[in-house]
Homo-oligomer: A and B are copies of this chain.
Amino acid sequence: MDFFFNPRGIALIGATPNPQKGGHAILRNLRIGFKGGIYPVNPSYAEIEGMSCYPSIIDVPDPVDLGIIFVPAPLVPQVVQDCARRQIPGVMIESGGFAETGESGAILQEAIKSIAKETGIRVWGPNCMGLVDTVKGHIFSFATPMMWDYGLKKGNVSMIVQSGMLSGVFLIDVMTHGVTGVSKVCSIGNKADINECDILEYLLSDNQTESVCLYLESIEDGRRLFRLWKNSPKPIILLKGGKSKKGASAAMSHTASLSVNNSVLRGAMAQAGVFEATGFRHMLDLGRTLARYPKSATKSPGKIAVLTYSGGAGIVSSDFMDSLGLEPAELSRSTLYQLKTITPEWMPLSNPVDLWPAVERNGARKAFGTAMRAVCSDPGVDGVLFHAFSGGFALNPDMAEIVRISKSAGKPLFCWLLGEREAARDFQERTQDLGVPVFRDLHRAVECMAAVFRKKSAVLKISEPHQSDKTPLSNILENMLTDKVGLLDEHLSKQILSAYGIPTVIEKVVIDEKEALIVSAEMGFPVVMKGLLPGQAHKTDAGLVCMGIQTEKDVSDAFAFLDNKMSESKTGGKIIVQRQLPESIEMIAGLIRDPQFGNCVMCGFGGILAEIIGDSQFAVAPIDLSEALDLINRLKNQKLLDGFRSFPAVNRQELANILVRLGQIGMDYPQIKEIDINPLLKGDKGLMAVDALIVL
């Protein structure tokens, strides 16, 4: 991939002297920032602005590692072919007119894909704005060359974006406002070949990148992306465009993106420790914060000291912390003692610390410095939220000193800033240059602080867990999985689950009324009797389930009823007798094949709770026990698992074990399309599958 980021020479196919055209902007941008050879290609010109212009890529002298293509879409396949013949390792196609425009564009895009596959040339784009690298001074993009005049602000956040806006006008906005600098911004467009995974992999080992922000409208290879996320040593932030139905349909026409199952995506993100952004600025704010504090979350909730000059802002900070999972730290006696030395006698001391009276008495430097030293040496304080104002008041703390104290104590510092426009930008840039994130909105400051202190149980696991040594299934089951297609009935499905160690309810197939009577007597009443018909997934709706069987007569009646029903259908089938478990919290668990993320386990509340609270969570399989427990704890109403009313608690460990095993089955038998356990109920030996279905 390095030839995209550090080419020795670049050929620009579609260079033009017309300043209204993108081909001119790209050339200008290359000439301003790129140090290697630049070779304009355009058969209409012999030279452009004093540079030799070549009729074709074939004529361009060495070395050329990258071709940037900006010619009309129909011409692009030939150009790519030529570049491949010319042994150029990569091209960046910035022209539009491909899959995003409909049928004929999609054919052109397919043609390019084929060329890439056949020749090995790597293709970035089409329909993209290429690359901006502020550190190297590379703008491989038709973004306005005025960006250079505005100033490229260097930073350590990189972005991979499926929208040119984010690598152009948005950058101009955030850089000129002093919000943050960035490192590399990669606009990947339609992703005909190079996709987010390729670039993410590159950025994760890039020295100039400390965090990566992703704006994606589609996900190309969910499993690879998930693996990269999970093994990433750097914080990753994702904004997914097209989460809503209307948004997804707009995404379809923007970058020809297929829709993504958001529940699965959310599960995968939580599992891999990826941060979810809710908007463009939020994405970058999280990115710049986490680039600064990638590994600060040792405790949750984080206990924060708030140093403020405004009682009201302190109160609202407390409210925000409360709603975002942080807590104001309880200050130690020693800290309060130190604060006493700068505050007036009458002042009640608490956290948030209102330093206004202290500033009035001691000046800002002494007041803020003393307070900062006090809270940073307090073992009960995990981080500091510093309120600052710039411009006009005696409120200018010595920020270098404040930052030094925070760093030497190892306590992350976050700054919320209000101020007169010029003074505030100056303050923000100076403070951020010292390495401390500054926010202009208080809620955003607390949001970003909360991300730093978010529990990160799933991050930094290096390998995929649970490599299955061998299948635990009998030959009969094994063969069945190989031969059958469609639904396995409840009884067979549970045999497979059981072989994998998932507890299932006691049940038996019975062939006649007599056996039904014997079996139910052995099991003890009440029992359930069910008729299993091939291909029938909805037994209850089909009247094939008899619950609450209490007497021998009930057994006989039920057998006759089911036998009759089943003979109607003429497809054969079997009748089973099952132990009926007492009422308890109904859980559901399962396995699905997600188009993007593949094999995923699911867990949620079943029965009436499902209707009332509709609460389920996903994780990408395989999972280990701690991931399964994490998944369970992500259920919004997971506290119900502790039991309520007459319902006993659900053992999380047992449930987690079942989820681990479901994931394992999915890994071992790729032919299984879906497993659905509904419900899981508490039996005398713990949680067990009462009904289940496997789809092949």
Task: List residues of chain A with CB under 8 Å of any chain B CB.
Answer: 20, 96-97, 100-102, 104-105, 144, 146-147, 150, 161-166, 168-170, 172-173, 176-177, 215, 217, 239, 241-247, 249-251, 253-255, 278-282, 309-316, 318-323, 327-328, 346-348, 350, 352, 354, 357, 389, 391-395, 418-422, 424-425, 440-443, 608-609, 611-613, 637, 640, 644-645
Contact = CB atoms under 8 A, between A and B. Distances in A.
Given A315-B251, A322-B245, A150 B392 contact: yes
- Give 4 closest A-B pairs by Cβ, nearest first: A163-B312, A254-B311, A244-B322, A165-B310
Contacts of A421: 173, 176-177, 425
A310 B392 contact: no
Chain A binding site: helix, strand, loop or mixed by DSSP? helix
A246 B172 contact: no
Given A172-B418, A173-B420, A420-B172, A255 B392 contact: no
B644 A612 contact: yes
A255 B250 CA distance: 50
A241 B173 CA distance: 32
A278 to B, nearest CB: 7
Given A173-B424, A244-B321, 17 more contacts: A102-B346, A150-B420, A163-B310, A165-B418, A169-B310, A169-B418, A242-B319, A243-B322, A244-B319, A246-B322, A250-B328, A250-B352, A253-B350, A279-B443, A421-B425, A611-B644, A612-B612
Contacts of A346: 97, 101-102, 104-105
B246 A101 contact: no
Contact of A327 (B246, B281, B611): B246
Contact of A315 (B169, B250, B644): B250
Contacts of A215: 312
Nearest to A173: B418
A250 B442 contact: no
A68 to B, nearest CB: 19
A391 B241 contact: no
Nearest to A254: B311
Nearest to A177: B421
A350 B395 CA distance: 51
A69 to B, nearest CB: 18
Contact of A146 (B316, B347, B391): B391
Contacts of A101: 346-348
Nearest to A310: B165
A249 B169 CA distance: 44
Given A391-B146, A644-B608, A311 B442 contact: no
A630 B334 CA distance: 52
A282 B250 contact: no
A162 B176 CA distance: 34
Given A97-B346, A424-B173, A441-B279, A313 B163 contact: yes
A160 to B, nearest CB: 13
A322 B318 CA distance: 30
A320 B150 contact: no
Nearest to A161: B312
A613 to B, nearest CB: 6
Given A101-B347, A250-B352, A170 B418 contact: yes
Contacts of A314: 250, 254
B312 A254 contact: yes
Q: Which of A166, A177, A312 has the most CB of B within 10 A?
A: A312
A350 B250 contact: yes
Contacts of A395: 169
22 contacts: A150-B391, A169-B310, A169-B392, A172-B392, A173-B419, A173-B420, A176-B391, A217-B312, A241-B319, A242-B319, A246-B318, A246-B327, A247-B315, A249-B350, A250-B314, A250-B352, A251-B315, A280-B442, A611-B645, A612-B612, A612-B640, A613-B613
A348 B150 contact: no
Contact of A612 (B250, B254, B319, B613): B613
Given A172-B392, A244-B322, A612-B612, A312 B443 contact: no
A318 B244 contact: yes
A278 B420 CA distance: 23
A274 B126 CA distance: 49
A391 B97 CA distance: 26
A256 B245 CA distance: 48
Nearest to A308: B165
Contacts of A217: 312, 315
A490 to B, nearest CB: 22
A169 B419 contact: yes
Contacts of A253: 311, 348, 350
A156 to B, nearest CB: 22
Given A146-B391, A249-B350, A346-B101, A241 B165 contact: no
A394 B143 CA distance: 11
Contacts of A327: 246
A169 B284 CA distance: 26
Nearest to A280: B442
Nearest to A395: B169
- Of A105, A251, A640, A644, most buried by chain B (CB within 10 Å of CB) is A251
